[in-house]
Amino acid sequence: MQLPSEEDDLAEVAAVSMAIVKAIGVLPSLPADKGPYLARILETGLHDLQTVDCRHIPSERRAAFLAKVKARYTDLITAIPAK
């Protein structure tokens, strides 16, 4: 993977995938105040993103790539209304 735009696309896919897995699937079954749940999902998702396989990203770009993924994941989770 050579182009920063390709990295951005892959970062977006990884973040959206983690958000779906961690948060969106169970939202309908939660009580009205989803704040504590979303905070926990944000924390665990950021932790789990540390294990993302980045072998297609050049080693000198991996830290920046993971930072992009984490930032986008945070944006996605914090955009979900808590109440």
pLDDT tens-digit readout, 3-55: 778 888 888 888 888 888 887 778 878 888 889 989 999 999 999 988 888 88
pLDDT for residue 20: 84
Give the pLDDT confidence score for residue 27 in this predicted structure: 80
pLDDT value of position 22: 80
The reply to whether 40 falls in a domain is: yes
Count of domains forming the chain: 1
pLDDT of residue 28: 77
Taken as a whole, the chain contains a residue count of 83
Decide if 8 is inside a domain: yes
Is 83 part of a structural domain of the chain?
A: no
Residue 71 lies in a domain: yes
User: Cα-atom radius of gyration of the chain, to the nearest Å?
Assistant: 14
Q: Which residues of 62-78 are buried (b: 16+ CB within 10 A; e: fewer)?
A: eeebbebbbebbeebbe
Model-level pTM?
A: 0.75
Measure Cα distances from 32 to 1, 35, 55, 64 in Å: 43, 9, 41, 36
Q: Give a yes or no: residue 37 inside a domain.
A: yes
pLDDT-derived band at 1 (thresholds 50, 70, 90) equals: low
State which residues form the domain around 67: 4-78
Give mean pLDDT, residues 58-72: 91
Whether 29 maps to a domain, the answer reads: yes
